[in-house]
Amino acid sequence: MDLWKFVQENVVLIAVAFVSGAMLLWPAARRSAGGPAVDTLGATLLINKEDALVLDVRQPGETAAGRIVNSKTIPLPDLQARLKELERWKAKPVIVVCASGNRSASAVATLKKNGFEKVFNLSGGFGAWQQAGLPVEK
């Protein structure tokens, strides 16, 4: 069978295969763009053993409902302007958290671009932290 004829007769099938493949690869591409990720267990180890900073980049309305104990809140839109507040953590681990992991991926990129050495995105965000039954404060 001629390849061109096969493509013409199965264009919808080929398009579906391409789209489904792209959908499978998208989460991996997002993770790599947001820097290294850490799960809740890894995050607790970094907090307890290396005195990591937990940086919450959610909006004040979101953090009012609860936040990780001892976390520092700087909403993502304010991060660039408030980097000076984080200077002392440039060489220490910083775990960035948002609701699901998308905004925190952007914050990780900003911090890395500004010289922070050990920056991690909390996989699953604040929701994963709560699901794991880890301590939160209001």
- What residues pair up with 64 in beta bridges, in sequence order? none
Catalytic residue among 95, 98, 105, 107: 98
Q: CA of 132: how far to CAs of 62, 82, 124, 135, in Å?
A: 19, 30, 11, 9
Question: Is 90 known to be catalytic?
Answer: no
Please give the positions annotated as active site: 98
